[in-house]
Structure 1
Amino acid sequence: MSHITLIRHGQANSGAQDEASYDKLSTLGHQQSAWLGAHLRAQNQHHTRLYTGTLTRHIETAHAMGTDLEPIRDARLNELEYLTLARALETEHNVPFPQDQAAFTTHLPQVFAAWQRDEIAGAPERFADFEKRVWDVLCEIAAGDGPALVVTSGGLISMAMRHVLRLDIQAMAQMALAIYNTSQHRLFPIGGTLSPTMFNAIPHLEDPDRHYAQTHV
């Protein structure tokens, strides 16, 4: 079993109102990704495999990192469709779509909780199915040879942490809200199972002149 380093994509189009519009990196997102790649090379971190989802923001992040590894694209690493879920929750249960960051931080836990309870008829996939596909793909990657980089999204990373830390849905939502763009999260094999040994690391953004690039959305 090999360790996995999960990476959240760079900043995307945070002002988007739908999934398609959100799915591209901002100028800052490209820069964050390039800084991360340079940091990994400077630290001489060794990885033998690179995986991404099939979303544009995942692919653009991996490309901007400048790694020599050929990415393996797997749709099971794609993000949950928060904006689709939010619109469905609004239509079905009259829960207003968030209009600013403050509203988003209270809205996301509501979405996660309703989704877990199967109360969103228009959900593109069931919560249980999302949970299963995330853990299935991570177990397959861990079973491969050599350390792996996985470029994905915050919701998927929070689901992975929910599994290994046995988090309830509210804790998972709070974790999702905390995840920085281009942050690193490591799952390491200990005692025959994957355990978290790193969460939300952004050493490439810690210099004072890069603090502005520490973004969550």
Structure 2
Amino acid sequence: MGSIYLIRHGQASFGADDYDVLSPIGVRQAEILGQHLAELGICFDRCLAGDLRRQQHTATSALAQFTAKGLAVPPMETDAAFNEFDADAVIRALIPAMLADEPEAIDILRNAAQNRAEFQRIFALVIERWLAGTYDTPGLESWLGFVERVQAGLQRILEQADGQQKIAVFTSGGTITALLHLITRMPARQAFELNWQIVNTSLNQLKFRGREVALASFNSHAHLQLLKAPELITFR
């Protein structure tokens, strides 16, 4: 059987003007991941990433650890199918209809870094509406559209793979959630309950034979746990 390793990007710049930049912790997480994989002798036949900077930077930082140990690294491939959904666009589209019930929502979202718990509560409510599909607006990628995009990316990998390959995909939490939903057939809301638990640079392994795909492991972050440094275990 072949293996696909879905790797969540390192910690991004939550609460900053540009989220799509790895924080110093995010870079360190990626380096630790690369060192861990290299020490385990897990060498990849293919490496892909979405085209978001946090995904690309995580990939280059992790794979540099292989190169430093003299291990071969395949060329990096980019497939935007593995990009995260546009959370800012979802919030902008759906938050206005929520203000009657959540009048402080905009202030909470503008000061997310100082209101992490409230931000998560509001964001979870927004996601519930997005998943329902009844609040879709023109120009906004729907949940179903997002799932179809991610599924198309997975199918491209399977079509080009042979049965023994090890393939790394550097991606995001929402993308991993969509794949969990597709592969395990769990309801979308249940999948997003797991989404909130996905650790930055965690490993999620899929096993495949032909077009058949199964979940082998979820949210493994032993590479961070072994260092006994709680600050390295982050969720955004």
TM over 0.5: yes
CA distance in 2, matches of 1:118, 1:40: 43
Q: 1:7 to 1:174 in 2, by over 3 A?
A: same
1:191 offset after TM fit, Å? 8.5
1:91 offset after TM fit, Å? 2.4
Farther off after superposition, 26-35 or 134-143: 134-143
Sequence identity percentage: 29
- Could you say which residue in structure 1 is the equivalent of 2:222? 203
Q: 1:108 to 1:174 in 2, by over 3 A?
A: farther
- Could you say which residue in structure 2 is the equivalent of 1:14? 14
CA distance in 2, matches of 1:55, 1:121: 24
Farther off after superposition, 177-186 or 130-139: 130-139
5+ residue gaps, structure 1, are none
Query: 1:36 aligned to 2:59?
Result: no
- Cα shift readout 1:104-136 (whole Å, capped 9, x = no counterpart): 333333222211324042663121111111111
Aligned 8 A contact 1:46 1:147 in 2: yes
Alignment-mate amino acid for residue 31 of structure 1: R
Aligned 8 A contact 1:109 1:174 in 2: no
Larger-Rg structure: 2
1:150 equivalent among 163, 169, 173: 169
CA distance in 1, matches of 2:16, 2:190: 26
CA distance in 2, matches of 1:78, 1:12: 14
5+ residue gaps, structure 2, are 67-72
RMSD: 1.9
- Could you say which residue in structure 2 is the equivalent of 1:177? 196
Alignment-mate amino acid for residue 12 of structure 1: A
Q: Which runs of structure 2 are paired with 1:35-184 in the superposition (5 Å)?
A: 35-65=32-62, 66=64, 67=66, 68-94=73-99, 95=102, 96-97=105-106, 98=109, 99=112, 100-116=115-131, 117-121=133-137, 124-143=140-159, 144-145=161-162, 146-184=165-203
1:210 offset after TM fit, Å? 2.6
Aligned 8 A contact 1:9 1:57 in 2: yes
Q: 1:122 to 1:31 in 2, by over 3 A?
A: farther
Number of residues of Structure 1 aligned to a counterpart in Structure 2: 214
Aligned 8 A contact 1:6 1:185 in 2: yes
- Cα shift readout 1:31-70 (whole Å, capped 9, x = no counterpart): 0000000000000013100000000001100111114222
Aligned 8 A contact 1:3 1:142 in 2: no
CA distance in 2, matches of 1:107, 1:188: 35
Q: Which runs of 4+ in 1 moved over 4 A?
A: none
Aligned 8 A contact 2:203 2:220 in 1: yes
Q: 1:70 to 1:190 in 2, by over 3 A?
A: closer
